[in-house]
Amino acid sequence: MTGPPVDAPLEEVVSTDPRDGRELGRYPLHSAADVAAAVTAARRAASWWSGLGYAARRSRLDAWRRLILRRVSELVELISAETGKTTADAQLEAILVVDHLRWAAAHAGKVLRRRHVRPGLLMYNHSATVDHHPLGVVGVIGPWNYPAFIPIGPIAHALAAGNTVVFKPSEYTPGVGKWLADTLGEVVGEQTVLEAVFGFGDTGAALCTSGVDKVAFTGSTSTGKRVMAACAESLTPVLLECGGKDAMLVDRDADIAAAADAAVWGGLSNAGQTCVGVERVYVHQAVAERFTELVVENAAALRTGVGRDADIGPMATREQPSIVAEHIRDALARGARAALGGPDSVRPSTVEPVVLTEVREGSLALTEETFGPVIVVNRVATMDEAVAQANACAYGLGAAVYSRARGPQIARKLRVGMVSVNSVLAFAGVPGLPFGGTGASGFGRVHGPEGLREFTRTQSITRQRVRPFLRPLSFERSPRTMDALMRLIRIVYG
Ligand code: NDP
């Protein structure tokens, strides 16, 4: 289990390895004053960093990427050690880090450069332009489940857009946060453009009220609400990437073997602790039996444990197994069937795969984030029913659709931010695609052009090029001027 041992001194954050409880490191617990000092320093660095321009920032961020790649085994080992995830899961995370960092650095100049806009009829004598200025200092608050990949989204995009960043990693993964800040510091020696601050919820709360120019938060919906409330006080803008309850929809014409393989990987990799992991499957009744058999067969074949050869590692936090157990018990008490595993699959630190079928509406396993290796498989009579059930959920983060003929059609009916057709989680691996949710999953986007614009202040400028023939924007205008304009508007737009 990770997290602060009960006897840990309060002035430190202690990181431990969930695989064996070994202490990994101790980090200073930063107070509100420490956070304020970090933000002040970041603000000083911000004018230098934004003044460098896109090309110079790109070369520094590219150098950071190359350094990360040279030392990627360190990062992989650290991610595994602090979260308990398998080496393969940690490697995938590191690959995503590098890919998104490359995209942000390469595209910031193109996406954010000055844009000319047609001035239109009324202001024909003006030029009109849009600029995207950096905001200044961005506060990034990250979760433990993908301690490098998730924060690198806002960090890389904010930096590429010309901001500096103060980053509060989860209390469970301070080491990864420090590693990211230290490695960037090695290639950008002049000023500190990414500072990590450590602590628990209070340190994150202090970052929200520290005067940063935006907070990019990723974590649970309940904490997201607290972040938004704290930021409301000073009208600090927020980007909220919150929880999910992602559904997979499997149509009768789908490649059933591929869909079952994807459901198992999407639901169980990283021990099910993935915001866009598959938590619910709605499968057409014509193929439900075969699909469920394959899911159970594939899931039962996986090795769970703390050993290096395990497919599913331990749960990363102390609290998570009891939440998973509660969801399983609640579903069974309401009439669900356990096709694989059950309450006994939950051990103090590991959870064996669980497949639940016939889970009734209103069960926690359908409405709340389970965040463990549990897959719900419910059969539906039509894909319209599947869409209705998938959408009957407060969360709206991601989804997957398996269908040979109608994938994109079904995808467009889902009230979520991202959908993979005939695959799972693919959208997270396309750096040019905006990533984010709707409803209880939050708002705002990281990744892609939208992810870059999130960290800018949009400014519109008009410049009068020639004196106008008619002058409607002056008290010197005459009734004839306005009548002439009215006639012109009717002719052109009527
Ligand atoms: P939490 O909400 O518990 O914590 C997220 C971060 O917020 C942590 O750094 C935490 O610090 C900090 N924090 C806690 N309280 C406050 C506060 N009052 N003010 C400011 N910051 C605070 O989430 P988890 O770390 O448990 O992460 C798992 C959650 O993240 C899941 O719900 C998952 O779905 C979601 N998530 C969403 C993603 C998305 O893109 N939509 C991606 C990945 C995860 P500390 O840890 O020290 O308490």
pLDDT tens digits for range 256-285: 999 999 999 999 999 999 999 999 999 999
Domain layout of the chain by residue ranges? 12-242+446-456, 247-423
Mean local confidence (pLDDT), 225-253? 98
Fold of the CATH domain 247-423: Aldehyde Dehydrogenase; Chain A, domain 2 (3.40.309)
Pairwise CA distance, residues 450 & 434, whole Å: 6
Report CA(441)–ligand 1 centroid distance (Å): 12
Single out the catalytic residue among 93, 171, 195, 241. 241
Q: What are the φ and ψ backbone dihedral angles of 323, each rounded to 5 degrees?
A: -65, -45
For 155-174, the pLDDT digits (tens) are: 999 999 999 999 999 999 99
C-beta of 242 in contact with ligand 1 (< 6 A): yes
C-beta of 320 in contact with ligand 1 (< 6 A): no
Is 241 an annotated catalytic residue? yes
Please work out, in degrees rounded to the nearest 5, the angle formed at the alpha carbon of residue 295 by the alpha carbons of 290 and 299: 150
pLDDT value, residue 319? 87
Q: What are the φ and ψ backbone dihedral angles of 446, each rounded to 5 degrees?
A: -105, 165
- pLDDT over 90 at 308, yes or no: no
pLDDT value, residue 6? 45
C-beta of 100 in contact with ligand 1 (< 6 A): no
Residue 202: in which H helix or E strand, if any? Answer: helix 201-208
Q: Which CATH number fits domain 12-242+446-456: 3.10.580.10, 3.40.640.10, 3.40.605.10, 3.20.10.10?
A: 3.40.605.10
Mean local confidence (pLDDT), 225-254? 98
Pairwise CA distance, residues 66 & 87, whole Å: 21
- pLDDT over 50 at 370, yes or no: yes
Q: Reduced to 3 states, what is the DSSP secondary structure of residue 460?
A: strand
pTM listed for this prediction: 0.95
Q: Reduced to 3 states, what is the DSSP secondary structure of residue 111?
A: helix
C-beta of 150 in contact with ligand 1 (< 6 A): yes
Mean local confidence (pLDDT), 356-362? 97
